[in-house]
Amino acid sequence: MSLPHAILTALLEKPSSGLELTRRFDRSIGYFWSATHQQIYRELGRLEGDGLIRTLPSEKPARGRRKEYEVLPAGREELARWAAEPQAPRTVRDPLLLRLRAAAVVGGVGLEDELRRHLELHRAQLAEYDAIERRDFPPAPDRPREDRLRHIVLRAGIELETFWTTWLTGALDELAGAPDQAGTAP
């Protein structure tokens, strides 16, 4: 149950229309919680129905007409409640790891190419995060707590991408010495 809270966070940072939210979920927020416009519109409807957000009264609402939302006090309270609530860490569920394990059983042809492709993608993402860090968080003493929190989240992204690049590099090295023999399993 995180999408509604992701939307509340985004709307508190800045009141927005559905399409603007969708764009923001392709960038900053989307770096750790992605969502499509269909999900977002569905959830905006629910949040409004639950009295956690409302549309800014501007023009008459109609199908093709822009609607801007803002968070109501009840929405802010719900977000604070959720953020403080104890939750279990997310269990890992990664198809790439599963595919490596499958390759150990059925023999992986073309697997190394796929690992190289992922390595390039993760390198590119890491470069993007590094640029954001240089731009938004230059070295400075005594930052306000909000900025520290945002920086900590960005650091998670940077360190995660660093993990992937070093791990993939190591995996390719390790496999370089072992020729593929497809279908050796019983």
Residues at the site binding DNA, with contacts judged by CB under 7 A: 1-4, 17-20, 34-39, 41-42, 44-45, 61-68, 93
Considering only 21, 24, 31, 53, the residue that binds a copy of itself (CB under 8 A) is: 31
Binding-residue total with a copy of itself (CB under 8 A) = 82
Considering the complex, what minimum distance in angstroms separates the CB of residue 84 from a copy of itself? 5
Residue 70 three-state SS: strand
Q: Tokens 């569920």 correspond to what residue? A: 93
Separation of alpha carbons 47 and 54, rounded Å: 8
Which region, judged by CB under 8 A, interacts with a copy of itself, from 26-34, 46-54, 61-69, 132-140?
A: 26-34
* Main-chain phi, psi angles of 75, to 5 degrees: -70, -40
Considering only 37, 67, 123, 151, the residue that binds a copy of itself (CB under 8 A) is: 151
Nearer to DNA, 82 or 137 (CB): 82
Nearer to DNA, 64 or 138 (CB): 64
CA of residue 163 relative to chain centroid, distance: 16
Contact between 139 and a copy of itself by CB under 8 A: the answer reads no
Question: What residue 38 binds from a copy of itself, DNA, none (CB within 5 to 8 A, per partner kind)?
Answer: DNA
Pairing of strands 68-71, 53-55: antiparallel
Q: Residues 112 to 131: which contact a copy of itself by CB under 8 A?
A: 114, 117-118, 121-122
Q: Please list, in sequence order, all residues whose beta carbon lies within 8 angstroms of the beta carbon of residue 57, skipping any fewer than 6 positions away.
A: none
Q: Please list, in sequence order, all residues whose beta carbon lies within 8 angstroms of the beta carbon of residue 19, skipping any fewer than 6 positions away.
A: 37, 66
